[in-house]
Structure 1
């Protein structure tokens, strides 16, 4: 823990007192420089908190509002104007650049020198964060604020992949590879959509047990079967949908092999830059199957996050069952538990609402 200096919010910015923040795989791959956000940096991109101050041009939130901070975007390019801000043409600049894309400045300084801030438009591994009006999503005060941060990335990514992108149909079958926060959010969404065969695939027995508790109908542990593809084919005859959340190319290839005719594969897992996977064009792609890359569940956070919260209120989307809480100063333990599989979705308690 180090003390840093934080700018006052600019005209279109929001100062948020962070209450809780999730730890996500993307934080860790930036720590390891698989994605080139300049270090040193304040990471954290699943923050939730209370608005303390707003710039004079901000109209969607005001001091005292509870907000979830999600990814940032320019709101002017073609994908943003068409309702797909997750595919913003300048997404890398706004989420991984570590600076304000408008002028290259950072709101965070250490010992008088600017360091990378505004990670995903927030840098919320901190007691306070500067967000933009675009990525600060107002939420009600009747749901515990500390648990809402993961809706800003991991939970909306998994749920949105099933609901927004694959649009899984009632009575269909789906295999979800990886039972971390993203994969298990997808399991809940598949159950919500009425899929009748929901297969969760993971190497960790405890995560597979959780998958069964929240809606999976079958689980497959690759350590316990001779061939994952054969097992899924045995269970379903081939799935209508598959979702790959691990970022492992071999797993993506396996997922393709599980599809039935006209099946759809969604790729979420983020490997290191330049990673490649291969597919049999004749046996798979020309058979009517399709492969789609998915970012942030193709969600518009200002609409989708409140929708997920309402589903939670109704008892239909119990994402709180995935969360393990840690005190802010125990961030390293939380990271270790995330990496070794002990915690599905670690959330740091930073401050009080």
Structure 2
């Protein structure tokens, strides 16, 4: 069986997203055909567009939300008509997957960025019958339909608004998971969040949810700091005006924070985040740095003050558990991530990408034409 879809195809490094008609084959036994209602767009999509020529041409998109239209013969978790959010892939067989750490699957890099199935095949062909890369993050949701790996698919309640649900798949669960499940922020504690994009702002919301009483947001953009204050930040720091480390120490009576989260992927910012910790403090970093980049940590200081520094993928989340959990928090008014979203029609994808790069919007979400909500 084949399905005709309209997808945003990137054909050359740094090139535009072009809406093209394509044919999707499948789904295979372990796959699901999803009619995509909406898809978030984030810097990871643009990173692949701009710096991974071996993955192109390809359909990107990794924060999809839609409705299942067909399932493979081995799929049991979802059925036709179910509303779903599409998250990150995993193999389900390696040591990490079998022990509940699917974000660190042994095959995660290839499954996310290979733009093909595990066996190297693709489901997508263009009108000239040429293969087009897909299965980006197990899904490739920049299209009206996608063929997704079943392990990337999470069923959500029937009353879920799919127009806002996609970012739960990556950006929201990264920020929220890092605070709730990695740092495990405690009531009355202090937190510094370096970078207030969608991940950082979700971390601010989560820190408030945890009962942190000092929440410091660090960002160069005044509008982002204003939004951070509305979402729970108690102190706002612009690195263009002050030294963030000194400002954080001032906000904490000279001690530093109990927890820090670095979201920018800039090595010097990681250094600042670590140096802003109190003794026995913990810093988690989730920002994607260039390959080979190193973040300088003052080793003697880190040792003698008992500091912990660790990298985090996807908030350490298991999507089938974390996404419903975040939806419940949102429904109770405790996680207003929808305030970060700006909607675009699918044919405005290149404007959405430009606004993402410029920082004019926090979280662009594409609405596929004609899709139910």
TM-score (normalizing by structure 1): 0.97
CA RMSD of aligned residues (A): 1.0
Superposition map of 1:299-310 within 5 A: 299-310=317-328
Q: How does 1:267-306 map to 2 (within 5 A)?
A: 267-306=285-324
Q: Deviations over 1:50-106 (max 9, x none)?
A: 0011111111111110000000000111111111100001001111111111x2101
**Number of matched pairs:** 350
Is residue 189–residue 212 contact of structure 2 (8 Å, CA) maintained in 1? yes
Residue equivalent to 2:244: 228
CA contact (8 A) 2:135 2:149 kept: no
Partner in structure 2 of residue 49 of structure 1:
66
Q: Distance in 2 between matches of 1:59 and 1:284?
A: 48
- Residue 39 of structure 2 is matched in structure 1 by 21
Give the C-alpha shift of residue 2 in structure 1.
1.3
Aligned to 1:163: 180
**Paired position in structure 1 for 2:50:** 32
**Which stretches of structure 1, 4 residues or more, deviate above 3 A after TM superposition?**
none
For 1:219, what is the secondary structure of its paired residue?
Answer: strand
Equivalent position SS for 1:32: helix
Aligned position for 2:92: 75
Deviation digits for residues 106-128 of structure 1 (CA, Å, limit 9, x no counterpart): 11122212121000000001111
SS in 1 for 2:84: strand
The alignment status of 1:135 with 2:141, answered yes or no, reads no
Q: CA deviation at 1:206?
A: 0.7
Q: CA separation in 2, counterparts of 1:141 and 1:148?
A: 12
Secondary structure of the equivalent of 1:143? coil
2:58, 2:134 within 8 Å by CA — same for their partners in 1?
A: yes
Question: Where does 1:148-159 land on structure 2 (aligned, <5 Å)?
Answer: 148-159=165-176
Q: Which residue of 1 is the match for residue 197 of structure 2?
A: 180
8 Å Cα contact 1:36-1:96 kept in structure 2: no
3-state secondary structure, aligned to 1:210: helix
Q: Is 2:124 the partner of 1:108?
A: yes
CA distance in 1, matches of 2:152, 2:336: 24
For 1:196 and 1:14, how far apart are their aligned partners in 2?
44
Unaligned runs of 5+ in 2: 1-18
Q: Deviations over 1:242-276 (max 9, x none)?
A: 00000100100111110000000001000111111
Structure 1 position 37, deviation (Å): 5.2
CA distance in 2, matches of 1:64, 1:150: 21
Structure 2: how far apart are the matches of 1:7 and 1:275? 39
In structure 1, distance between residues paired with 2:150 and 2:122: 17
CA distance in structure 2 between the aligned counterparts of 1:74 and 1:157, rounded to whole angstroms: 20
Take 2:293 and 2:212, find their aligned partners in 1: how far apart are those partners? 31
Q: CA deviation at 1:141?
A: 2.1
CA contact (8 A) 1:326 1:347 kept: yes
Report Cα offsets for 1:221-253 as digits up to 9, x if no partner.
11122x111111111130000000001001001
Aligned to 2:102: 85
What is the deviation of 1:284? 2.0
Deviation at 1:305, TM superposition (A): 0.2
Partner residue of 1:323 out of 341, 351, 354: 341
Separation in 1 of the partners of 2:303 and 2:136?
Answer: 37
Q: Distance in 2 between matches of 1:175 and 1:272?
A: 23
Report if aligned partners of 2:40, 2:167 keep a CA contact under 8 Å in 1: yes
- Partner Cα distance (1:133, 1:165) in 2: 26
Q: TM-score scaled to structure 2, two decimals?
A: 0.92
| 1:44 counterpart SS class | coil
Structure 1 unaligned blocks of 5 or more:
none
**In the superposition, relative to structure 1, how do residues 127 and 10 fare at CA in structure 2: closer, same or farther (>3 Å)?**
same
